[in-house]
Amino acid sequence: MSEGAGGGPEAFVASLAGTLLLENFPARAHAWQPERPLAELVEDAEALRAELAREARTLAWPEETVAALDAAFLDRHASGLVASRAFALHLFRVAEDNWFGFARAVEAASWFEAPEYHAERRELWLAKGVPTREILEGRLTPPDLAVIADLGRGELAFVLAGLAD
């Protein structure tokens, strides 16, 4: 089980540093609680997309990134088992020739599997084709923006990761 198992998305992503990801592959999460109940948002992709774009504007992300997010296809991984593997693949796509194997990435992402109850599940949403390279200058970044929906905490989180290679 990942070290961040008991915490929210920010604790989970922070737990990857030094265990799976080294200094040249930093990752960070920005979590917030949307005004609308998260259980409703995850069932309405259009409203979720609008919430994500609103938060990206609040963070003063480049308009190109916000526009891409506002129009992106959101690939939903609602099962903890599937989300852990999808998140591992998300990271692995950037660093497949580096220091960690896919199985190790899946183990580190087991945080998604921790909740016992469906109402407290942790989902991974991948905003397809949303560039994060301008946010993480000088880094190789995954082709999609990872978004975590932690229904137990009522939090959404952007996950930004980039490899200095």
CB 42 within 8 A of CB 151: yes
pLDDT tier, 2 (very low <50, low <70, confident <90, very high otherwise) = very low
What are the tens digits of pLDDT across the range 91-107? 888 877 666 788 888 99
Summarised one tens digit per residue, pLDDT across range 26-66 is 899 999 999 999 999 999 999 999 999 999 999 999 999 99
> What's the confidence (pLDDT) of residue 140?
87
At how many degrees (to 10) do helices 45-58 and 63-71 cross? Answer: 170
pLDDT value at 1 more than 60:
no
Q: Are 142 and 95 in contact (CB under 8 A)?
A: no
Q: Write down all domains in the chain, each with its CATH number in brackets.
A: 9-161 (3.40.1000)
